[in-house]
Amino acid sequence: MFLRTWILGIKSLLLHPMRSALTVLGIFIGVASVIWLLAIGEGISIKAQEQIEALGAENIIVRTLKPPDESTGFSFSSERYGITRAEREQLLAIPTVEEVIPVRELRVRFSYTGNAKIDAREGRLVGCTPEYRAVNRLEVDRGHFLTHPESTATVCVISAELAKYFFPYEDPLRKKIFVPAKQDRFEIVGVLKPKSPTGAIGGSFSGQDFTSDVYIPIETMRRRMGDMEEKRGAGSFSRETFELSQVTVQVRAIKDVPTTARLIESTLRREDADRQDFGIIVPFELLEQAKTTRLMFMMFMGLIAAISLIVGGIGIMNIMLATVTERTREIGIRRALGACRRDIIRQFLIETIVLSVVGGAIGMLMGLLCPIILQGIKAFVAYAWENMYESLPTVVTEMTPTLVPLSFPLAFGISVIVGVVFGIYPAMRAAQMDPIEALRHE
């Protein structure tokens, strides 16, 4: 009897294939959207956490920030700001600090011939120590990275992209690269492997692009270029003096990171409590915030997708109410032949459950294809709208959807529950019909 009821329910649905297919489509879209949105949210979250983890959970980054300039019209300014070498020594004195890695960055133009008008390319000149490579996870392709014996030498390590640009058909090792504006040249001792840019993290840590970097010893940079940088613009001329662009403070233990961050801030603000020329980024705290944000983001995405399922459920109710009206005479005949109200309820509930199960099963199959389909969409967008695609954050362009295993049973279970809940009212309405009035219905 139970099997016959299921077979009869499926046959009733097949009498109106288009109507049944459209109803299944509503559930299918709801289930697929739950799986897709959670997968996209998980992929974005994982990529963001990877970028934060790349900074090091045991590190604290202190960046030099240029104070806001409120001048208008032509202006001449000469200011000194940022983290100093003396302050680096003070940070080293904090008991929980193991090492403080200094960095100084300049935007310059590089040249192989020494003539900026022929082959110049803009990039970032980075003065650093050998420890910089491990902190930023740079990998050497040829040669070697900077060493301590080379701390005052005029040597450099260049990115893979610059090596390809300046030396497409020859080995760049032992060749020289020029900085025309500074009248300096550096011998290439190493070439790095390609490294993807990082996204902006925190309010004072902008994204970093490693594609056009040249790394030289920081002591060499200090001796040959000094601490002053001149900038000329339309209606302005400025001399800026800053010693360090950034220091990465390595803490002895993760548990000491929050305390050390507070000690660093109090040390730097010892003489000026309103100081605005530095920013502190704590990857450990950002990572904990990212995990909390991930849960909230997943809940929000799941809620949006659940709305799609509810809309699909409303579609089921609408179709079943129309079906009850159309099958009024059939219901009267069944009741006249001895069918109880619970038999009529069971009949219509089975039909709604079939619609929900079929829609949920197709939705799960489509959910499995999410990574493949989304990669195809990204490739199409990158081809059709290249400029727009390149302007997107790297956390989006390099994100790979990650299927959440829990989303499959969750979405399928919700789809069945939605089918039952929204099918109860039409089934109850059908069961409450007066058999005599139903038989008279035309």
Query: Is residue 326 situated within a structural domain?
Result: yes
Average pLDDT, stretch 396-419? 81
**Residue 221's pLDDT band (boundaries 50, 70, 90)?**
very high
Query: Is residue 324 situated within a structural domain?
Result: yes
Query: Is residue 382 situated within a structural domain?
Result: yes
* Whether 92 and 166 share a structural domain: yes
Number of domains in the chain: 2
Query: Taking the model in full, what pTM does it have?
Result: 0.61
Which of 119-123, 301-305, 322-326, 347-351 holds the top average pLDDT? 119-123
- At residue 310, the pLDDT reads 78
Which has more pLDDT, 280 or 220?
A: 220
- At residue 20, the pLDDT reads 80
* Whether 112 and 29 share a structural domain: no
* Whether 125 and 48 share a structural domain: no
Average pLDDT, stretch 31-43? 83
* 83-142 tens-digit pLDDT: 889 999 999 999 988 889 999 999 888 988 766 677 788 899 999 999 999 888 889 999
Query: Is residue 257 situated within a structural domain?
Result: no
* Whether 358 and 416 share a structural domain: yes
Query: Is residue 270 situated within a structural domain?
Result: no
- At residue 389, the pLDDT reads 76
Query: Is residue 268 situated within a structural domain?
Result: no
> How far is it, in rounded angstroms, from Cα 19 to Cα 309?
18
Contacts of 197 (CB under 8 A, 6+ apart): 207, 208, 209, 210, 211, 394
* 148-170 tens-digit pLDDT: 999 999 999 999 999 999 998 88
**Residue 74's pLDDT band (boundaries 50, 70, 90)?**
very low
- At residue 81, the pLDDT reads 85
* Whether 79 and 130 share a structural domain: yes
Q: Which of 38-47, 48-57, 267-276, 352-361 has the lowest mean pLDDT?
A: 48-57
* Whether 242 and 314 share a structural domain: no
Confidence check: pLDDT of 204 > 70 = no
Average pLDDT, stretch 402-428? 82
Last residue of a domain, one of 252, 281, 299: 252
Average pLDDT, stretch 301-305? 71
Domain that holds residue 201: 59-252
* Whether 193 and 151 share a structural domain: yes
Last residue of a domain, one of 252, 279, 304: 252
* Whether 188 and 214 share a structural domain: yes
Q: Which of 85-99, 216-230, 270-284 has the lowest mean pLDDT?
A: 270-284
> How far is it, in rounded angstroms, from Cα 279 to Cα 262?
12
* Whether 80 and 156 share a structural domain: yes
Which has more pLDDT, 299 or 264?
A: 264
* Whether 375 and 312 share a structural domain: yes
**Residue 70's pLDDT band (boundaries 50, 70, 90)?**
low
Last residue of a domain, one of 229, 252, 275: 252
Query: Is residue 279 situated within a structural domain?
Result: no
Q: Which of 58-62, 85-89, 219-223 has the lowest mean pLDDT?
A: 58-62
- Give the β-pairing of 140-143 and 228-233: unpaired
* Whether 39 and 63 share a structural domain: no
What is the chain's mean pLDDT, rounded? 80
* Whether 192 and 316 share a structural domain: no
Query: Is residue 259 situated within a structural domain?
Result: no
Which of 132-136, 179-183, 311-315, 393-397 holds the top average pLDDT? 132-136
Amino acid at 387: N
